[in-house]
Amino acid sequence: MNKLIKHSTFSQGMFVALPALAMMLGWGLRGHIGGGPFGAMIPGAMVALSISLLLKLPASVTSIVVVFGVFGIGLGGEMTYGQTLGFLRNPDTVWWGTAGTTLKGAVWGLLGGTVFSLGFLFHRIPKKIIIYALLLMLTGFFLGFKLVNEPMLLYFSDPANPRAESWAALLFGALALLVFLRVKIASADYKMVRRFALYGMVGGGLGFGLGGFWMVLGSHLPDVLFGNWWKAMEFTFGLLLGASLGLAAWKSRKEIQNINQPEKTSEIGFSSISGELGILFAVAVFTYWLWPNLLESFVYAESVNDGFALSMVRGVARVLVNYGFYGFVFVLVIMRFPKMAWQIGITLTFCHAAIDLIRDLYPDLNPWAPFTMHFLWVFLMTAIVSLLTFYYNRRENSAINLFLLLIWSCIGISLLRLFFLSGSLSVSGMSICQIVCNRFFVDIFFIVNAIVVSWIIFNTKKHQKLLPE
């Protein structure tokens, strides 16, 4: 084994730029290759990896931080916001839509930043404190659903075609988490948590609020060559939220590095590939098939005649199919098997992108039916990534190599979508500007962004020196 000897420090500008670019890429990919909270694992993993590289954290710590990144950032994906963005296209509702996107973005960043910061404290605070904190967060979800979201006390979707909102649930969960941590952890540690929470709140609110104005601009420029204003909104959201989390990491860099020295961390895991991949398979089946298949039909069934007791039971079940519960399961797994962190952070993140792709390729297949072509192709693609994750996490520069694996495997899914699901690829009769600025703008942007981020990642090696033990 080798030890990483730190001999230079990244600038504040780099702490802002790399997480911003990485999260912008991840957020764009999330909207393109994987929706919902599981799709939001992509930017969560990418911002966590970029910040961990800049902090020069040990690989064992980085893997844990990545799990809390996919957990924290994924949580906001529970919020519906399509109809909220639709308000921006109407001059009469544009400011109401802006208020909704700003609020939802701020809640996304507040809760995401809070949960993400726990990854840096994972080896410092008692595990039972983390468990109690997350259980209180889930309790906050229940209260937010019941007290605000279900009665629509403050509603940012279309009442004529209602969608179930969850922004108040996430807000209540964030507040419960912050209050509990304020009491239970050291003041210096809480200061760091609070910083990530507040910076995330500001970055998320500005990113989604300002990003939404691309939709306003697009509604007034219907005939311009460029028309993908939704994607411009996603890029802006990712850019500003990633920059804010990177800035929080810069301001907390000394505390985080002191907490996570190599001698203060240890790993317990599997010595064999069969053990590691067996647990991964069990977690993936539970998360993407078994648990939602058991509960979602009950949670989302027609409920107009529910009595009080059944309404409460359905509310609890709703929390149990919320992404927050899955994130809680991920944390429990890495508490017992820390080496599973890379598989959860990298492979499970990729797995859902593969699931979304295959569902779209085979729209007539029942997604809950086992042992179909849907299952076969997802299993094969995920198996390749899991084997590469197993290989790279036991080699030097594991965090760098796994970051690149995540980037380019997601780009691969994006390209498969381009070739098989985007219609004709013919450019006959199109000008260069039409090809670059319209037809293939998103795909080109992804590749250019991925190349830039990959180049920066490679250059982080210059700030490290490897010496034999």
What residue spans define the domains of the chain? 2-468
Residues 196 and 176: their CA atoms lie apart, in Å, by 16
144: which residues sit within 8 A by CB, 6+ positions away? 166, 168, 169, 170, 171, 172, 173
* Tokens 């569902």 belong to residue: 359
Number of Cβ within 10 Å of residue 206's Cβ equals: 20
Question: Per mean pLDDT, which range of 3-7, 106-110, 191-195, 438-442 is the poorest?
Answer: 3-7
Question: Per mean pLDDT, which range of 19-23, 315-319, 328-332 is the poorest?
Answer: 315-319
Q: Does 200 have pLDDT greater than 60?
A: yes
Number of Cβ within 10 Å of residue 114's Cβ equals: 27
Q: Does 191 have pLDDT greater than 60?
A: yes
What does pTM read for this prediction?
A: 0.94
Q: Does 8 have pLDDT greater than 70?
A: no
pLDDT of 272: 81
Q: Does 397 have pLDDT greater than 50?
A: yes
Residues 335 and 350: their CA atoms lie apart, in Å, by 22
Q: Does 267 have pLDDT greater than 80?
A: no
pLDDT of 415: 96
Please report which confidence band the pLDDT of residue 469 belongs to, taking 50, 70 and 90 as the band edges: very low
Sign of the Cα torsion 370, 371, 373, 374 reads positive
Radius of gyration of the chain (CA): 22
Question: Which among 404, 399, 409 is positioned nearest to 454, based on CA atoms?
Answer: 404
Q: Does 300 have pLDDT greater than 90?
A: no
How far, in Å, are 48, 67, 321, 382 from residue 293 at the CA level? 30, 24, 10, 20
* Tokens 């921006």 belong to residue: 88
pLDDT of 373: 83
Question: Which among 349, 225, 232, 357 is positioned nearest to 284, based on CA atoms?
Answer: 349
Question: Which among 189, 251, 192, 309 is positioned nearest to 54, based on CA atoms?
Answer: 251
301: which residues sit within 8 A by CB, 6+ positions away? none
Q: Does 3 have pLDDT greater than 50?
A: no
Residues 71 and 41: their CA atoms lie apart, in Å, by 7
- The per-residue pLDDT of the chain, averaged, comes to 91
Please report which confidence band the pLDDT of residue 464 belongs to, taking 50, 70 and 90 as the band edges: low
391: which residues sit within 8 A by CB, 6+ positions away? none
Q: Does 454 have pLDDT greater than 90?
A: yes
Q: Does 255 have pLDDT greater than 50?
A: yes
Number of Cβ within 10 Å of residue 316's Cβ equals: 13
The answer to whether the beta carbons of residues 70 and 344 sit under 8 Å apart is yes
